[in-house]
A and B are shown apart, each in its own frame.
Chain A
């Protein structure tokens, strides 16, 4: 656009400021998806290597191991990213950002790799959701502005909301079925019928009566144990986030 009159200094400063803001916003719009895809890659592989089978398979989502292990392994990146976003930008989005990335990665793999490529029905490979806990974790961080309180209350609720938020879709697969004279759940039967040559039945690490002292209350015991572990792991991974968000080689500040 051609200007008829020369600009004064104030006009020039304002225009420079506006264009800088636009440029920064554009950069942010590039940075956000870049970071998102980085987290998809790193968090997804971390979670699959540590809690993979419990998350892959419907017939691994039991009342003991799945409930204990999954939240503990999922809160790790939530905590690290909360440090990064909160300390540097005062953004209470670390947990939701991490879990959204994890779930997107999981759904892409489950549909493309497991369903379209390997023919597994989607109900056998539906991932668990952690978004209830992640939203609670972010909200508590904003409201308390404290890592310690977020670890205690947010970490606990992250684990305690895990089972009920997933039971909404999982309960249907625990209906009983008689199969050749034996009682199975629909989840057991789907796991048995849709053949996995590399996953024999005995390899399932699921509840096998090991919490018999607590009778029928495996879910509550596992959830509270997981809550306790989540508090500790949240605190540990806050420092992992700190270590990874530290600029080590560039001395000049932006």
Chain B
């Protein structure tokens, strides 16, 4: 036996053993060099989508370690940016989702402003919404849990993500609910045996029918008979009887199965598909008015510089504490109001250098002041936001958080044209 796999005239032949060894080495090399993909590709979303659609803030994960069957809550707020890009469909139909690697958690509830979000809803531009997603641990492992909002025709808009670890035995997971008719059911395997039974029963009928024909010569003999014009000899009287029986049996089993189901589950509903109505959080009358005078992004320095005209319409002096965009937080540490909320936030989304404000003195009540802020951090690159300057629509969006002395927060949108500086 020739153990050479490829024999090409004039070329060196390769043995099967050598060929398999090379394939194995290649696969092992690839496996050893590859990294496990654990996140959700959030950085691949275009910067304009992340910066000008949903501004996530106050995001909190109630736990980061839990056992199978434990529950935890991901909560926070978002503002629907008034600078929503024309290229993306408006959030007229949207669904509060959660991005996890499959159902490693089950979602036991989700709410926006207290309204059940099992269905989709619509949002108003420029308004705030408070949300919660309740999850129950199902599959052990270390999973990346992202906030996410799906907008019809615009796609998923992903928020910040954090790793959560589930320990314990997945076999012990239970997901019981009570039906309106009073039965308690475990959704994880509810009515599964009935599914297997009916699929299995029909499969037996199908196999029997095929076996009835395939037990005798099928292709060559029958093709020859047809070619010779002896078509009638191929279908016998018993074949017709069997076919009649199959016809009657199929219809009988179909309608018997239907009536058994009607008897066992007499109360059933159609799938529910309503839209939910959610009112936005009330707008505070005391606003801080911010106008963008000019915005730059200096590519070599990875720094966004904004010149802003700020008018304090509140009743107390305020200071700028934070600028956030696309889930990256630039904190003015000298104000010190955000340190607690920052502690539980994913580290890679906290700009290390923070936010630099040229005039730290509080803005007095009724005062209008020109300020310059610099948000400089490698996160512009690592989060792939810097590519915004190459977009056909070089505009940004974000939120500014002002604080008064008592710690009261005033949130203001900011957005507009961004001028790139290449040197």
Give Cα A171–Cα B249 distance, bound, in whole angstroms. Answer: 22
Q: Which of B258-277 contact A (CB under 8 A)?
A: 258, 260-262, 264-265, 267-273
Give Cα A193–Cα B234 distance, bound, in whole angstroms. Answer: 54
Closest Cβ of chain A to B80, distance in Å, is 16
* With A96-B210, A180-B116 as contacts: A174 and B103 at CB distance below 8 Å: no
A195 touches B269 (CB 8 A): no
B250 touches A208 (CB 8 A): no
Closest Cβ of chain A to B104, distance in Å, is 6
B195 touches A169 (CB 8 A): yes
Q: Give the interface segment out of A6-14, A42-50, A127-135.
A: A127-135
Interface membership of chain A positions 221-251, coded 1 if the CB is closer than 8 angstroms to chain B and 0 otherwise: 0000000000000000000000000000000
A207 touches B253 (CB 8 A): no
Give Cα A174–Cα B102 distance, bound, in whole angstroms. Answer: 24
Give Cα A203–Cα B93 distance, bound, in whole angstroms. Answer: 10
B103 touches A194 (CB 8 A): yes
Nearest residue (CB) in B for A59 is: B271
B258 touches A174 (CB 8 A): no
Pick the residue among A24, A193, A196, A206 that contacts B220 (CB under 8 A): A24
Give Cα A119–Cα B93 distance, bound, in whole angstroms. Answer: 28
Give Cα A59–Cα B264 distance, bound, in whole angstroms. Answer: 20
How many B residues face the partner with a CB closer than 8 A? 94
* With A59-B271, A63-B270, A138-B209 as contacts: A200 and B120 at CB distance below 8 Å: yes
Interface membership of chain A positions 105-121, coded 1 if the CB is closer than 8 angstroms to chain B and 0 otherwise: 00100000000001111
* With A31-B219, A165-B254, A175-B179 as contacts: A143 and B243 at CB distance below 8 Å: yes
Q: Which of A47-103 contact B (CB under 8 A)?
A: 59, 61-63, 88-93, 96-97, 99-100, 103
CB-CB under 8 A from A28, the residues of chain B are 217-220
* With A100-B206, A175-B183, A177-B177 as contacts: A197 and B218 at CB distance below 8 Å: no
* B343 within 8 Å of A (CB atoms): no
* A27 within 8 Å of B (CB atoms): yes
A185 touches B120 (CB 8 A): no
* With A89-B226, A123-B191, A142-B243 as contacts: A193 and B175 at CB distance below 8 Å: yes
Nearest residue (CB) in B for A168 is: B257
How many A residues face the partner with a CB closer than 8 A? 90
* B223 within 8 Å of A (CB atoms): yes
Closest Cβ of chain B to A183, distance in Å, is 6
Closest Cβ of chain B to A227, distance in Å, is 14
Nearest residue (CB) in B for A198 is: B156
A200 touches B273 (CB 8 A): no
* With A139-B247, A201-B118 as contacts: A189 and B109 at CB distance below 8 Å: no
Pick the residue among A24, A119, A167, A177 that contacts B257 (CB under 8 A): A167
Pick the residue among B150, B156, B219, B269 that contacts A202 (CB under 8 A): B150
B258 touches A168 (CB 8 A): yes
Interface centre among A131, A157, A207 (most CB of B within 10 A): A131
A161 touches B251 (CB 8 A): yes
A195 touches B103 (CB 8 A): yes
A119 touches B272 (CB 8 A): no
Closest Cβ of chain B to A9, distance in Å, is 22
Closest Cβ of chain B to A86, distance in Å, is 10
* B348 within 8 Å of A (CB atoms): no
Pick the residue among B175, B194, B235 that contacts A169 (CB under 8 A): B194
* B148 within 8 Å of A (CB atoms): yes
CB-CB under 8 A from B205, the residues of chain A are 131, 135
14 new A-B contacts at CB < 8 Å, known A171-B265, A174-B269, A179-B118: A25-B217, A28-B219, A96-B210, A120-B103, A136-B247, A139-B244, A139-B246, A143-B244, A189-B177, A194-B103, A195-B105, A196-B103, A203-B152, A253-B227
Jot down 20 A-B pairs with beta carbons below 8 A, ordered by A. Answer: A27-B219, A89-B222, A90-B231, A119-B103, A123-B187, A135-B247, A136-B250, A138-B246, A139-B243, A145-B235, A165-B253, A172-B265, A174-B269, A175-B267, A176-B179, A183-B269, A189-B118, A200-B152, A202-B95, A207-B273
A residues near B (Cβ < 8 Å) are: 21, 24-25, 27-28, 31-32, 59, 61-63, 88-93, 96-97, 99-100, 103, 107, 118-123, 126-127, 129, 131-132, 134-136, 138-140, 142-143, 145, 157, 161, 164-165, 167-190, 192-198, 200-204, 206-209, 218, 253-254
